[in-house]
Chain A
């Protein structure tokens, strides 16, 4: 395969790809699921819970940005990824808590309500994995090793 990344002998620094690409795949699936669901909810029943479905659409946008930024992995795009993943973490924690305090605001499951229960809690775990990956794959950090 032309895209194999060969390691120099004695170079035991972690690979730049691999784990990150798998993370991009999971982000991509979630971005697709969240976008499709929020589009469907907003198009068919926006009036029922505009706030919850609006937040759902915002979450979908954040996942799309995070997916693209993580996949691009350039200097500026990595900064974008840091921000997107951080927004995601704050979002899932804030909306998750909110949906338990005021369940009537969330008549139907959205990506972030109840800490992502409807998505097997993947939305809760993913930002931690994303932050861990961004830290581990930080070029400056790898260069120091």
Chain B
């Protein structure tokens, strides 16, 4: 679980940094970043499966409702940023992608806390 969390979190940090640099350079999200978004998104799906399997095997976590709330929210963020990038062809799509990636990273930390039994 920790491995999945850290790997996906690291990918999200990379994607967010890339988007941040593009925002500073006044450039919008580009097609090259799509594989990055897909990589993070696939990682998040894998992570949700790992959580489901872990809980199915009787792993104890904090509140499962909270855990699933975070996992589902995480899955929605990058598709939203992706759609945004089509509409907004300015640097601000890069800002949106950077923010979405940062939220994914924060949620990864929260998920780890809940997984360990915290509220």
Contact = CB atoms under 8 A, between A and B. Distances in A.
Contacts of A40: 65-66, 69
B91 A18 contact: yes
A46 interface: no
A51 interface: no
Given A29-B99, A33-B73, A21 B92 contact: yes
A124 B2 CA distance: 32
B73 A18 contact: no
Interface string B63-90: 0011001000100110011001011111
Contact of B89 (A4, A19, A22, A32): A4
Contacts of A4: 89
Contact of B88 (A18, A28, A32): A18
Contacts, number: 49
Interface residues of A, number: 20
B12 interface: no
A60 to B, nearest CB: 14
Contact of B99 (A3, A15, A26, A33): A26
A36 B77 CA distance: 14
Size bracket, chain B contacts? 20 to 34
A32 B84 CA distance: 17
B95 interface: yes
Interface in A4-26: 4, 15, 17-19, 21-22, 25-26
B75 to A, nearest CB: 12
Contacts of A120: 106
B77 A21 contact: no
Contacts of A33: 73
Interface in A38-53: 40, 44
B61 interface: no
A22 B99 contact: yes
A1 interface: yes
Contacts of A44: 65
B106 A21 contact: no
A29 B69 contact: no
Nearest to B96: A25
B69 A19 contact: no
Interface of B: 65-66, 69, 73, 76-77, 80-81, 84, 86-92, 95-96, 99-100, 103, 106, 119
10 contacts: A4-B89, A17-B88, A18-B88, A18-B91, A21-B88, A21-B96, A25-B100, A29-B99, A33-B73, A40-B69
